[in-house]
Chains A and B, each alone.
Chain A
């Protein structure tokens, strides 16, 4: 079973992600923000990371940059959850090293599909 790390400060979002990904056959590990995410990465090796952008303590983009700095974790695909569907914000996420993005509100099927795509 593949593991997905979800990083989101919203309980609601975390819960929705957990359900959608759980139903999609993934094992889900959760973190509440970037700092927590890095901490969790020290204890598990997810196959995919799904992260929010706007978070306290460490935002999603900084989090991605930090993950990409780490040789061991560099190859983990990271999907960014974003409500902003405009090109500029996607470009910033990509510049930080995001593999792809998921536009919120997400359709669970689409989410699972996207995670499957990058983790295949």
Chain B
């Protein structure tokens, strides 16, 4: 990547940050926080984007950002009240700005109708919002009459054509430049000597210093200005170039540039006069050594004199600023690290964990006493390894905020297109989860929120008729629950229309017409492949993608999704995902000849079945009575095909598990070997997807063990005689 491309990449990275800040600020404004801090941050975000975009010649982006910025400037200066209407326009402008940034990054273009329309709205705000007719525009130098974008746009390209600026070279002319600096010029670190040197660089010339105003030493003001100069210059560059040298000091000096017609005579006259005056002054007012030298000496001594005069200010000001800085510097320092490096480290720590476990096992096998030094050392090693693993995982953990931040915009867009009024409530945005999980969370979440608004919420009229507030609420909450992250998307809409859902499922042949389903089962029909509640594919929730795809993408992350719906009151979708995709606490069990890992998070308890508790049920199925409730008893080994006949429950151990949707089952295994943390190795990446198996791991003795997908095993068995087994297999 060349340097410019690198800076460009930095720019777009920074844009993303600025846009997030912009949106956050605007949302705060929407919530009534209109303090100058918030408004300034919003302004700065747009301003920064505009600045960078200008550097990359992203004209569309610059133009829109400019109009946006102008309106924000009015808000900032208190000339425009950021009421709801204004903030809404600003929020939509932020959306367009985001699109423009994305388009610029991908070198695409944005539909101009959106940009122009909103730019117009912004202008209307800017004009209507000012108490006097457009004071800001009036204050700007020459306001080019109700101009078009291009003209109003104030950037002047800096790369100037030197010929245009300085006129055609070669036509020499003589100029007389009279230059009288004022004290302010020196106070801003400009130097007369430098300016005169620059002048002389333009051509041939003579310089005359007027020292007649230099007072005697005791009266001299060290910060004053008492010298002036006349420069006679012969140059072909033109007057504009001369004026340009004094560009920075304009207003801090008296300057006249005069083109001379009769060069020689004028110069001579001027010089004679000045020299005569100077000589008179030197002779009359000053002593022997009073030539121009003292002037120079005095000027050079200025810094020392000031220092002597004003030490308290000089020393204290920066010191205070430093103290403030360290007080304010409580914000945690961060570094940016290439993700690959972190992942490499995680991999290595994963290997370390495996080897630590292997080592422990071998030491134990060697028959060393628990209290031996080696065993104690190993315990410490195990603890350290575990801490190390947690710390490394924490590097990858990020708050879900980055995903949640995109939601307000999504909600606005969907609300606008469906004509619904929606309030978004987010909770737990600082809940942390692995970066990969966050990245892959975005799509399903987006889809579910679209669904919630499009299908879940009623139109304002229907809501009013149902006695609900006109504005619907969509709530998105993230929380940690038993070692997983749970994200809930709920709405206060109409809930799932079970009859319609069943009708559709029947008409699509997903269930038999005479099926009797529980409410829960009816709600879950929407997750079946090929199900869509709209007859034609809706533009919003559609794209031909159903909830089954959402479910699958969440499952691919080791997550589950479930739904609870109450007619007339709304629906709640709950996604549960692992915090990390790399490690898992598991119970090591034997099933047939194999060793399996059951995720600890799914296990409630283990028990030894007694013969009176186990009942046969239907076609080879068995249930177990656990404290007066009957749970399906699933022989894992025969379920996975490790043996043909189910084993005698009395010889095994029943592991009570709870699936994501709260259903309980008992898994029958031959024995429990232990409990430990295992490093997850994707089976799909190395082999292929196997129903009932979530992933694999390497055990302490180096053998590969499969990690059981409890939900699938439990569900397959549960619905074996039911209607969904075919659908489930299809989903796998």
Q: Are B318 and A38 in contact (CB under 8 A)?
A: yes
Q: Are B139 and A88 in contact (CB under 8 A)?
A: yes
A72 contacts which of B43, B50, B303 (Cβ < 8 Å)? Answer: B303
B41: interface (CB < 8 Å): yes
The verdict on A70 contacting B188 (CB below 8 Å), with A19-B3, A36-B325, A107-B159 known, is no
Least CB distance from A92 to B in Å reads 12
Nearest to A65 among chain B residues (CB) is: B317
Q: Are B141 and A87 in contact (CB under 8 A)?
A: yes
What residues of B have a CB within 8 angstroms of the CB of A16 in the complex?
7, 55
0 or 1 for each of B169-199: is its CB under 8 Å from A? (1 = yes): 0000000000000000001111000100110
Q: Are A105 and B318 in contact (CB under 8 A)?
A: no
A12 contacts which of B10, B313, B324 (Cβ < 8 Å)? Answer: B10
A83 contacts which of B14, B155, B197, B313 (Cβ < 8 Å)? Answer: B155
What residues of B have a CB within 8 angstroms of the CB of A69 in the complex?
313-314, 317
0 or 1 for each of A69-108: is its CB under 8 Å from B? (1 = yes): 1111011111000011111100100100111110111110
What residues of A have a CB within 8 angstroms of the CB of B276 in the complex?
none
The verdict on A42 contacting B188 (CB below 8 Å), with A19-B3, A118-B248 known, is no
Q: Are B324 and A35 in contact (CB under 8 A)?
A: yes
Least CB distance from A88 to B in Å reads 6
What residues of A have a CB within 8 angstroms of the CB of B190 in the complex?
77, 99-100, 118
What residues of B have a CB within 8 angstroms of the CB of A101 in the complex?
248
Q: Are A70 and B317 in contact (CB under 8 A)?
A: yes
Q: Are A104 and B248 in contact (CB under 8 A)?
A: no
B310: interface (CB < 8 Å): yes
Q: Are A86 and B141 in contact (CB under 8 A)?
A: yes
Least CB distance from A116 to B in Å reads 10
Least CB distance from B408 to A in Å reads 23
A94 to B10, CA, bound (A): 31
B322: interface (CB < 8 Å): yes
What residues of A have a CB within 8 angstroms of the CB of B7 in the complex?
12, 15-16, 19
Least CB distance from B312 to A in Å reads 11
A103 to B55, CA, bound (A): 11
B371: interface (CB < 8 Å): no
Which of B6, B7, B13, B310 has its CB near the most chain A CB atoms (within 10 A)? B7
User: How many residues does chain B have at the interface if contact means C-beta atoms less than 8 Å apart?
Assistant: 52
B54: interface (CB < 8 Å): yes
The verdict on A39 contacting B197 (CB below 8 Å), with A13-B52, A71-B307, A101-B248 known, is no
On chain A, which size bracket covers the interface? Answer: 35 or more
What residues of A have a CB within 8 angstroms of the CB of B317 in the complex?
66, 69-70
Q: Are A84 and B154 in contact (CB under 8 A)?
A: yes
Which of B52, B57, B189, B322 has its CB near the most chain A CB atoms (within 10 A)? B189
A68 to B314, CA, bound (A): 9
- CB-CB contacts below 8 Å: B145-173 with A: 154-156, 158-159
Least CB distance from B246 to A in Å reads 11
Least CB distance from A83 to B in Å reads 5
Nearest to B50 among chain A residues (CB) is: A83
Nearest to B313 among chain A residues (CB) is: A69
Least CB distance from A80 to B in Å reads 10
B321 contacts which of A39, A83, A98 (Cβ < 8 Å)? Answer: A39
Least CB distance from B155 to A in Å reads 7
Which of A16, A66, A97 has its CB near the most chain B CB atoms (within 10 A)? A16
Q: Are A100 and B140 in contact (CB under 8 A)?
A: no
Least CB distance from B160 to A in Å reads 8
What residues of A have a CB within 8 angstroms of the CB of B310 in the complex?
71
- CB-CB contacts below 8 Å: B286-311 with A: 303, 306-307, 310-311
Least CB distance from A107 to B in Å reads 4
B158 contacts which of A10, A19, A105 (Cβ < 8 Å)? Answer: A105
B498: interface (CB < 8 Å): no
A35 contacts which of B44, B140, B321 (Cβ < 8 Å)? Answer: B321
A104 to B55, CA, bound (A): 7
A57: interface (CB < 8 Å): yes
0 or 1 for each of A1-44: is its CB under 8 Å from B? (1 = yes): 00000000111110110010000000000000001101101100
Least CB distance from A9 to B in Å reads 7
What residues of B have a CB within 8 angstroms of the CB of A99 in the complex?
188-190, 248
Question: A13-B48, A88-B140, A117-B198 are known contacts; what are 4 more A-B pairs with Cβ within 8 Å?
Answer: A38-B322, A98-B188, A100-B247, A120-B198
